[in-house]
Structure 1
Amino acid sequence: MRLLRGRTRIARSAMRQAARRRLAAFRSARPALCIGAMAACCRNAAFSSQIQLDLPDTFSTHACLFEAAMPSRKGSEQIRTRKGKMSSNLRTKRFIPLVAVPVAAALSTVVFGANAAVALPEGAAGVSATGSHQQGSTAGEGKFSGQGPVTPLIGDGARSRAAAASTVTRSEALQRAASWVGKGLAYNQAGYHDGYRMDCSGYVSMAWHLPNSQATNTFIPNGYGEWISKDDLKPGDALNNDSAGNSGHIALFEKWENSAHTSYKGYEFTGSGVRHRSIPYPYFSGYGTFKPMRYKNIVDDSTPVPTPEVPKAEPTQRVHADFNGDGRDDVAAVYGYDDHTVSVFTFLAKSDGGFEAPVKSWTSQPNYWTFKSVKMTAGDYNGDGRAELAAMYDYADGSVAMFTWPTNTDGTFKAPQKSWTTEPGNWYPEHVQLASGDYDGNGRDDIAAFYGYSDGRAALFTFKGQTDGGFAAPAKSWNVPEAYWWGDNVKFTSGDFNGDGRTDAAAIYGYDDGTVSAFTWIANTNGGFATPTKSWTRPPGNWTFESIKLTSGDYNGNGRDDLAAMYDYADGSAAMFTWLTDADGTFQSPQKSWTTEPGNWYPEHVQLASGDYDGNGRDDIAAFYGYSDARAALFTFKPNTSGEFAAPVKSWNVPADHWWGEHVKLG
C-alpha cells in the first residue's frame, strides 16, 4: 500500500510538472482573453451578477458582449484564434484559478449553447464582441448601442492597411467618414467593413486611419488621442464620451453650423446606421459628458478643408417611433380621463413584435389639457435617434400651439415643451391632419400638415424640427386655390415612397361620385412638396372611402414605404390591403392578405400604427382595439417579404372598464 501511495505521489508530481510546463508555454504567448458580458441595451434580465470561468490568472477580462455560450459541462471551450479558426483542444479546466466576470445587471434572456467562442486577438485586451443589429437604435441615441473593445484590422489587406497607418489630413479624415454614409451598414460589434469594426469607435478609427479599431476609453490611453478645448476644434476632430463599454460614444466633428458654436455638423455610427447630421454642442442632452478630442497624427491641409460629397441618406434608417432607442419601434398613446386629466403611456415592443404592458409617465393637471383638443404624431424631431411625441393643441380661445414630449432613455416621456404658437383665428386644427417624417433629409423629423379649408381649398405645410425638438413656423409649399380638395375626403399619411432618403406624403382621396384614388407628394430638398401625382384609382362602387383605415410603412423591406389599410366591408367582415410602391413613389394596385369573418373585427374600434416592432427590417402594423365594454387589446400584424399580412397576434389586453377606446389617441 505504501508503494502504491508512493507511485501515486510520483504520478501526481509528474502531472503537476507537465501542467506547469503547459501553463508556462501558454502564458508566454501573452494573449489577452476577453470574456464578454451581454450588452446593456438588452432588457428584462433575470441573470446572475457574476459568472465564474476557469481561466489562467494571467488573462485579462473585458466587459463586452457574449459571442456565444458558456462552456459545456465537460469543461471544454472552443477558442477562436485571431485568424478566425476554431480549436476545441484547449480545456480551461486544466488551469484551475477562477476569474469572476462581471455581467451587466440589466441583461436580457441569454440562450446558451454548448461551446463558448472566445476570441484571442493579437496583442489586444479584448475581442470583437457580438453585438445585435440594432436598426433604428443609436449610440448617442437613447440607449448607447455600445462598442466592441480594441481589435486589429480584419479582412483582406488588413496588414497592409495597418502598416500604412500614420498621419492623415483633415480632409482625408472627412472623406473617409463620408465613404461609409449611405451604404446601409448595420451597427454590428462583430461586423467589419474595410477592416474596421462597425460601431461608433471603430468608425472614427477608420476615419483616422488607425492601425486597429479602438474603443471610446482607449483613444487617449493608447496614445492616439489628446484632449483639446472647444475653441481648438477643427474638421476631423471628435467629441468623445470616454465612458467604458455601452455608456461611451464618439462623433466626428466636421464644421460649426453657426457663429455661436452651439451646433455642428458631424459623422457618427449609431444603432440606426452611419449618420451625417446636425448635432448640438457637445452632444444631445442626457448622454453623459462629451469632450473635444484630437487624433495626434492628424495634420492640417495646405488648402482649406473641402466639404466631402456625402451620399444620400439611407432610406431604411428612418425612425418611426423608437422611444427607447433599442432598435425596435414602440407605440405611444395619449389617454383622456373623465376628470379632465391627460396621460401619456408607452407600450415598449418586445423582440417577437408584441408589446409590454404600458407604462405611464407624464400626466397633466386636471382641467389643464383637453383630450379632444390634442392632435398627436410621433417622430425624431431633435435628431437624437429616439422618437418624441408631438401634438398640435387647440386652445379654447382659438389660438394654437405645437408641443413636444422629449423621451427618456427608458422610453417614458418628459413634460411637454411648447414651441410654435399662433393667434386665434389663424389655424383651425379640426381642418388639419398631421404626419411626421424627415422631409428635407437633414436627420431630424418634421411634421407635415394637410390643411383642408372649409371652401374646398387645400394646402400642405411643413413644421421643421429643431435641434431642441421644437418646431419652426410652418412653411406652405403646395396649395390649390379653388374647391378641388375637400379635407373631409382625405386620409393623409407619410413615408419614403420613392426611396430617396427623404420622407414624402401620400393620401387616399374619396370623390363625391364614389371614386377612390391614391396620391403622392414627393418631398424636395427644402422639406416642401411637389404637386401630387395620382396613381391608383378605383371607379365608383368598388371601394368606400369611409371604410378605409390608412397607415404606411416598409412592409416588404425593400427600402421604400408602402400604404396599408384595414377595410371594413358592409357585411361586417374585414381585410388588410397593401399598396406596394414603384421606384417613382407611385402606388401599385392593392393586394389583399388577411381577412376575417363578419362580426370578428369592427374597424371603427381600431386605431393603426406602423413600425418595425420585431426589428427584422420590415414594418409591422400595431392595432389598438377598444371594445365597447372598455376592454382593450393591442395586436400585431406581421408582413411577409411580399408585404402581405399574417393573422394578428394579441400581446397586451386589459379587462372591462379599464381602457375606453374613444379616450385613446395613438402617437
Structure 2
Amino acid sequence: MKQFYFSILFLSFSFYISAQTTSTEVGTTEGQLTVSLTGNANYTIPIAVPPGINGVEPEIGLSYNSQKGLTGTAASGWDISGVSSITRIPSTKLHDGTIDGVDFDALDRFALNGQRLIRKDSTAAYGGNGTVYETEYYSNVRVTSYGVHPSGANYGPEYFLVEYPDGSKELYGNSADSRSVAEWAITYWENAQGVRINYKYSISSNSLILESVKYGTRGIATPINEIQFTYEPRYIPENYYIAGTNIKRDKNLTGIKVIGNGVGYRNYALTYQSFGRIKEIVEKSGDNTKSYNPTVFEYEAKAPGEITYIPISTTTSVGNINSLNAATVSGDFDEDGKMDFLLYPTTGPDAKKKFWPFINIESGDVNIGAPYNSGAFDEILSSTFLSSGGKVMPQGWTLVQGNVFTTYAKSATGIYAQYQKTYTFPQFTYYSESPLSCIKANTPRIATTVSLPKRFISGDFNGDGLTDIAAIELNYTYSYLGPCDIYGEPLPSTSTYLGYTYFVDMDRRLAANFTTRAGRLGVSINSVTYVADFNGDGKSDIYVFDLGKVKVYSLNDSKQFELLTQFTDTGIDTAKPILIGDYNGDGKSDFMIPKEYGNYWYSYNSTGAGLLKEENMYPFCL
C-alpha cells in the first residue's frame, strides 16, 4: 500500500488518511487538509460536477471537522459543504438587551451561515413580514423575511430572500421541503441573468436532509445537471431538543451520483466502520466501471462518544489527603491552558483556614504548593473577573468569609487580592411562643435572632460573562410553644423557615446595590446543588436535587430566581453520584445517576423545557 498519511491529535482522537493502491486508473481523488487556529483538523473533498451555463455550477464537497464530534449533515464529523442555511440563535444582552435561549418565541434570532442577522430598522418586528436585515459583520448583503411560518407566528417567518450586490439572489425556506422548525435551507440561487441552482430536501425527525442539487438552465426550466444524495440509518443519531421539540439527524450519507445532461458523470461511494464512522470514500466514473484509489480513514479504536480519560499520577507537597479530609477548587489560574487547583483541608484545626495553590501540574514530579493562610472562610469559588481597567482577566478565585467576598488572582510573584465586596445579610428572628399560646399575657415572649446557615455557589447567572455568587439560606427548623391543647397547656411545636437566596453581582464596577434578595429555592441541608446551563441560553442555572426530585431555577431580568422546570422520579437519589454535562452536544446540560452498582445508569436529558429519562448501559461502573 502506498501511504501518505498524517495524524491529527485532538482530545485523544487520532485521524489518519491514506490512499490504497488497488486501482490502475491514473489520478487521485482531490482532498485538502487545513488546521484552524483553534487546533481542529479540516479535510475537504470537492465533488466533481459538469460545467453549467457561463460557469455557474454548485461547489459541493464533503468536509470533515475534528471538533464536530457526533454532529454533521453527512456523518459524524462530516458535512455536505456548499449548502447554506439560516438557523435560529439565542438573544444576547449585547445585541438584544436580554438573554434568551432558542425556544420558538419572539426573542429567537437568526443567522445566515453563522452570521447574526441585525434589523436595519430597530422598530421593525424581528422575523416579521418584510423586515430587512444586514449581517453583523459588514457584507453588503440584504436579507428580508416574509410571511408567517406554517407552525405559527412564534416560529418566525415562512421564508427569507437574500440579495447580493451583483444582482444574484437566494431564497431560503421557500418550499415545504426546505423549511423545518429550526432551519431555513437554501431553496435556490439565481444570478442576474436568471441562471439558477435548485436544492431539494426531505424532512426526517424535524431535520432537513439534502436529496438533490439541480442546475444548468434558466428560471423554472427543467435543469439538465443533477447531484443526487443517498443515505442509510445513522448508527448514533444526532439527537437534541429545542423547547421540548425533538430534532434528530438520523441519516448517514452513503452515495453521491452526479449526472450531466442525462448521462452519468461521477459517483462517490462511502462505506462505514461498525460505529458509523466513514471508513473510505471511492470516486468512480459515471457508469461505475472505473474508480480512483479509495481515500481511507483510520481512527483510534474507540466508539464515537466513548468516554476516555488521560490519567496523571503525581505527588503533592501536602501529604495525607483524601476526599474525606480535603477539597479542591479547579481552574486555569495562570492562563496556560492547563488545569490548576487549590487544595484546602475540610477537617482538623486548619479546616477552611488555609489553602495551597498547585500550578503547572506535571505527571511524575513532586508538585510544590506554598500554603496561603487566609483565615477562616466559608467557601472558595473559581471566578472570572474584571481588572481595574475593565478588562476580563484570567481565571481567579473568590474567597467567601461571612459577609465579605474577596477576589484573588495568581501572578508570577504571588497571590494578590484584586477587590472586595461586603454585604450584611439579614438575620432571622423567631419567638419562644406562638401568638396563640395560652401563656399569660404579661409573660413576655422571648425573641431569638440567628444568622441562617448559607450555601455559596458561583456561576454566570445574569449572562454578563463574569462570575456571580448565589448565597442560599438553608431551610431553618426552630421550636416554640404553640397553641394550647384542651387542657390549656401550650403544645411544643416546630416550624421550618424557607430561606431566601441572595444574588451577589461580583462585577467590580458596582460599588453599591450589587446584592438582591432573589427568591426562595427551598434548599435544605440534605439538598444537593449544582450549577449548569439547563436551556442553552448561555446563563448559569441552579439545580436543586432532593430525594426523588430535581428543580431548576434561572435568574430573570428582574434579578429573581424563577423555576424553569421540576421533575419527580424515583431514580433521583442524592446519596449517589450525580454527573452533570452536555452529553448529547446540544448546548443544554443533562445529568446521569447510577441505577445501582454496575453499568446501568439513568440519564436525564434536557429538552430546554423539561427532562426526559432514559436507562442506558455504559462501559464504566461504580
Q: Which has the higher strand share?
A: 2
Q: TM-score, normalised by structure 2?
A: 0.44
Q: Which has the higher helix share?
A: 1
Larger RCO, structure (CA 8 Å, separation 6 or more) = 1
Q: Which has the larger radius of gyration?
A: 2
